[in-house]
Amino acid sequence: MKEFFLGLFLCAVIANPVVNPVVAPVYSVNPNDGAFEIALTFDDGCDDGEQVDALFNILDKYNAAATFFLIGEWAEQNPELVKKIAARGGEIASHAYTHKQLNFMSPEKIKEELTKSVSVLEKLTNQKITLFRSPYGEYKDKVLKSANELNLTSIKWNIDSYDWQSRSAHSIYSSIKKEITNGDIILMHLNGKNTLKALELLLKDLSAKNYKFLTVGDLISRGSINYKFECS
């Protein structure tokens, strides 16, 4: 029973910056000067170039940067969309190769997933890929260690938009808005049905409150990082 409560405690606590990143993914950041800075992230992929353009038109309107965790296999099948995301200023990051659950794979297979995705994305974008988000945000130790050995920083999120569910734009926007603080990393999806409308509402609101929208790479260089132990 004692171990159970200890486990609960370890699962719940957000670790301080001295936690070894090999055993915990990045959840959010404490910007040094308390600046209102957050990172918008978009996962997976989509099959619609117009959706990508529309997304960047909204980002550009509010001078917002964003990070895209792309599936390697999807990237291989949609090279023009990947190039478009990079050309319009998106920070490109790995979301593994097949989007299968890495927690159930061997370390060798996990590394193959990561290496293949990084290779595809680097070839298409000429960007050095340094950030990784595991499909479904699952981070057993072997996933974190594999990423670390490949010099990839594992990124989670501290606000989930649940934009993959059938929710209205207003519902997505208001649930994010309710939780938002500086240093947050927000999870959204490239192919979310109401994601763009929610994004527009969010950026309009937060811009008026002087928030700045950085890539994850820039945000994690702006202050101490909040890691969190995983209990999967």
Contacts with Zn ion, residue ranges (CB under 5 A): 43-44, 135
CB of 67 to Zn ion, least distance (A): 13
CA–CA separation, 45 and 73 (whole Å): 10
CB of 229 to Zn ion, least distance (A): 22
Residue 167 or 189: the one with the smaller Cβ distance to Zn ion is: 189
Beta bridge partners of 70: 44, 94
Largest alpha-carbon pair distance within the chain? 55
CA–CA separation, 163 and 174 (whole Å): 12
CB of 95 to Zn ion, least distance (A): 6
Number of neighbouring beta carbons within 10 Å of residue 48:
12
* Residue owning tokens 């990084």: 118
In the three-class reduction of DSSP (H, G, I as helix; E, B as strand; rest coil), residue 188 is classed as: strand
Burial status of residue 209 (CB atoms within 10 A of its CB: 0-12, 13-18, 19 or more): exposed
Residue 120 or 206: the one with the smaller Cβ distance to Zn ion is: 120
Residue 44 or 200: the one with the smaller Cβ distance to Zn ion is: 44
CB of 35 to Zn ion, least distance (A): 29
Residue 37 or 43: the one with the smaller Cβ distance to Zn ion is: 43
